[in-house]
């Protein structure tokens, strides 16, 4: 599948094998010069809310970002999806993990799905949609992060890249140049596969 908006093109291919594994191949191609920097390159997948047990090998246990990860050690971590959400005074990006090799989501009844890639990736797994988080600086409804209701879902961002947080001037500054994502061509892939006795539903 391929979507073109005039200034950019996004392509995605799904390869499904007989065991139920899905290989996802994504691509981003700019169609104009001098496009703005990109906030992230990747995709979002929404799972049933029953898949709220989280395990990953990467940086943790707390949230970490491209320019905020040195204090997060590489290791194997287990937690829940609900604990990945931080109720900041303003709803915003939260719960990200960097340098991830794989993650699993399970429902506690033996049904699990593993997501992995040959390349390190970033991810977040949250009980809210990306649209529930306020990204509009001009929006008048600046509700507190603690007021965002959890949904019966697990919204997973699988990111080939995500821009750094920035704010090195106390707040407001763009990330340093090495933590920005220029608008150029990108290709990435990852695999989703059912694992365990119960497999995934």
Task: Identify the CA nearest to 109 among candidates 152, 48, 157.
Answer: 48
CB-neighbour burial class of residue 95 (10 A; exposed 0-12, middle 13-18, buried 19+):
buried
What is the pLDDT at residue 200?
59
Contact 97, 79 (CB under 8 A): no
Q: How confident is the model at residue 201 (pLDDT cuts 50, 70, 90)?
A: low
Distance between CA atoms of 111 and 196, rounded to whole angstroms? 7
User: pLDDT: is 131 or 41 the higher one?
Assistant: 41
Residues above pLDDT 70, as percent of the chain: 92
pLDDT band at 170 (very low <50, low <70, confident <90, very high): confident
HEC per residue, 145-169: HHHCCCCCEEEEEEEEEECCCCCCC
Domains of the chain: residue spans and CATH? 2-195 (2.70.98.10)
Considering only CA atoms, which of 37, 31, 33 is closest in space to residue 10? 31
pLDDT (tens digit, 9 = 90+) per residue, 86-114?
A: 988 878 889 999 999 999 999 989 999 99
* Cis peptide bond upstream of 61, omega within 30: yes
Question: E strands within the chain?
Answer: 2-4, 8-16, 22-30, 40-48, 53-60, 73-80, 97-106, 112-126, 153-162, 186-195
What is the pLDDT, as a whole number, of residue 72? 98
pLDDT at residue 29 in the model: 94
Work out the number of other CB atoms within 10 angstroms of the CB of residue 180: 17
pLDDT, one tens digit per residue, over 119-153 is 999 999 999 998 888 666 555 565 778 888 999 99
Is the pLDDT score of 166 beyond 80? yes
Q: What is the mean pLDDT of residues 147-166?
A: 95
Average pLDDT, the chain: 91
Q: Are 82 and 125 in contact (CB under 8 A)?
A: no
Minimum mean pLDDT among 17-26, 69-78, 132-141, 192-201: which range? Answer: 132-141
pTM for the predicted model, two decimal places: 0.90
């Amino acid at each position: 599948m391929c979507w073109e908006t005039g200034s950019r093109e996004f392509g995605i291919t799904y390869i499904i094998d007989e065991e139920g594994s899905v290989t996802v191949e994504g691509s981003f191609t700019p169609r104009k010069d001098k496009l703005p920097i990109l906030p992230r390159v990747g995709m979002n997948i929404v799972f049933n809310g029953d898949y709220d047990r989280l395990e990953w090998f990467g940086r943790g246990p707390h949230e970490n970002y491209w320019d905020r990860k040195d204090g997060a050690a590489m290791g194997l971590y287990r937690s829940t999806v609900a604990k990945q959400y931080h109720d900041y005074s303003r709803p915003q990006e939260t719960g990200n993990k960097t340098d991830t090799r794989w993650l699993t989501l399970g429902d506690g009844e033996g049904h699990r799905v593993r997501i992995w890639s040959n390349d390190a990736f970033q991810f977040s797994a949250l009980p809210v949609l990306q649209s529930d988080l306020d990204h509009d600086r001009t929006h008048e409804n600046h509700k507190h992060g603690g007021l965002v209701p959890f949904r019966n879902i697990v919204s997973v961002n699988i990111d080939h890249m995500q821009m750094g947080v920035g704010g090195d001037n106390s707040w407001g500054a763009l990330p340093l140049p090495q933590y920005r994502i220029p608008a150029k061509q990108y290709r990435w892939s990852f695999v989703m596969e059912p694992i365990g006795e119960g497999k995934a539903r």
